[in-house]
Amino acid sequence: DAIGALEAKVGSSPPEDIRDLHMLLQALASRAGCLALTGRRGPIYRLRTPAIEGILMSWMQSPVGKLREIGKVFKLMVGVVAMGAQPGQEGVNWRAIGYEAPDVVALRAAAQSPGSLDLAACRVPSLEAAPQRTLAGAGGAAPPDELVCDCVIVGSGPGGAVVAAELAEAGFRVALLEYGRWESADERECSELHAFRHMYQEAGNFFTKDRNLTILAGSALGGGAAVNW
């Protein structure tokens, strides 16, 4: 699934960026190209891990903008693979960092017992019911012809949701719009890859133009509150 996510991300890039990436990978896979780009006799996949890490770090810190961008693209690719574990599978870096993943099935079962904490089972009680109406449902359902309301709130994060609630309590007819999808408790897998793909803007790959800053913005019903609670 990690490779699928990586292919989907690369496939959504501009054609010229995909072409440049293919050319770069082909060059690094050859002895001459690797030597020209890294100063080391390749191909790059035959180099030891510390050497490859050093090359990527030098690219990301290079005064040459194109090399910095290339280094950050590779960092993104490595990150997608590192977070590619699915429920029941062990991530490639978990042992190295001493991480033990939660048993999601056991947590959900425990959440049904009296006195359990919904938070421990990755559940948000206020979002357990599906939204009343979606403007673009599954399967490309057509939006309603007309939606009558007094106020339209764009964004269901902590700010928008509170404003919508206050207006609704004051007697106004409120439409609360959210770009992201609704993630029910049963759909949440408590895995990084799943969360990034379904609950973050641009699957967690939302960058500034120079790729120096990654912006982790929630894109789901509940906005930032759905991913930062």
DSSP 207: B
Q: What is the pLDDT of residue 77?
A: 74
Give me the residue label for tokens 């964004």. 155
Q: Which one has a higher pLDDT value, 190 or 176?
A: 176
User: Which residue in 12, 3, 190 sits closest to 80, CA to CA?
Assistant: 3
Which of the four pLDDT bands, split at 50, 70 and 90, describes residue 199? Answer: confident
DSSP 66: H
Query: Over the stretch 67-76, which tens digit does the pLDDT of each residue have?
Result: 787 787 777 7
Task: Give the list of residues 6+ apart from residue 84 with CB closer than 8 angstroms, or none.
Answer: 1, 2, 3, 5, 91, 92, 193
Average pLDDT on 79-93 reads 67
Q: Which one has a higher pLDDT value, 185 or 58?
A: 58
Range scoring the smallest mean pLDDT among 36-50, 122-136, 195-209: 122-136
Average pLDDT on 124-149 reads 58
Task: Give the list of residues 6+ apart from residue 104 with CB closer than 8 angstroms, or none.
Answer: 87, 121, 122, 189, 190
